[in-house]
Amino acid sequence: MDNITPTIREELINYLSDFTLEKRLKLIQDVLSHRTRYLTVVLENIYQSQNASAVLRSCECFGIQDVHVIENSNRFSVNPKVVMGSTKWLNIHKYNKHSNNTLHAISSLKEKGYRIVATSPHIHLTTLNDFDVEKGKFALFFGTELTGLSDDVVNNADEFLLIPTYGFTESLNISVSAAICIQTLTNKLRYSEINYKLSPSEAQLIMHEWLRLSIKSWRSIEKRFLSGKN
């Protein structure tokens, strides 16, 4: 983000807070207190901007901080009317520079300790209600609207997750599936004893960024503050 030390950043956050309405500051602090990276969402090759945008909005609403976007044959785009400004509060990580972006994303997430969880109506070992959130942090993969997840995800998944349905239609729309999974699993986290919230250092960085997003003249204010530290 920058070269500011944690101590100076904390002072800067306090300084910027004086330029924020008390009601706004309280809202930022409250939202931040519910944020998590224990659960993250991965979108593979989504091509309908309305669906992608709806998933991002659901992630923000239910407190998920990171969304990972795999761009293979389809370029990821959002619909401003659907996201309703939610994307600016999220960290969106794109994978589009490798010969196989899916495998690169899976490898990166596994290195960070995430379980790879494939959502699929065809292959399943666990239903949504039975999914064990206590086994460790996890990344939920959602596939393209027409064909679902790629073989690369299926072959490298640690677990498979199914939303039970009881009608003639085989599967739900991706944005609906994501919203149901996110709401159910974040609710499980909040009623568990898992330490699912952001670490103090993560929360500090995000608090700083959110204050910047909330203050129109943050650049000049920060420059004035930091000049006094030299």
Domains of the chain: 36-200 (3.40.1280.10)
What is the spatial distance between Cα 193 and Cα 134, in angstroms, rounded to a whole number? Answer: 9
Give the pLDDT score at 214. 94
Give the pLDDT score at 230. 67
What are residue 71's DSSP bridge partners?
A: none
Contact 36, 202 (CB under 8 A): no
35: DSSP letter = -
Contact 119, 142 (CB under 8 A): yes
What are residue 141's DSSP bridge partners?
A: 42, 118
**Dihedral sign (CA 34, 85, 215, 201):** positive
Q: Tell me the two tokens of residue 115.
A: 């379980």
What is the spatial distance between Cα 75 and Cα 77, in angstroms, rounded to a whole number? Answer: 6
What is the spatial distance between Cα 107 and Cα 59, in angstroms, rounded to a whole number? Answer: 22
pLDDT along the chain (230 residues), means of 10: 87 96 97 98 87 92 96 78 83 92 97 95 81 96 86 95 86 91 96 96 97 95 87
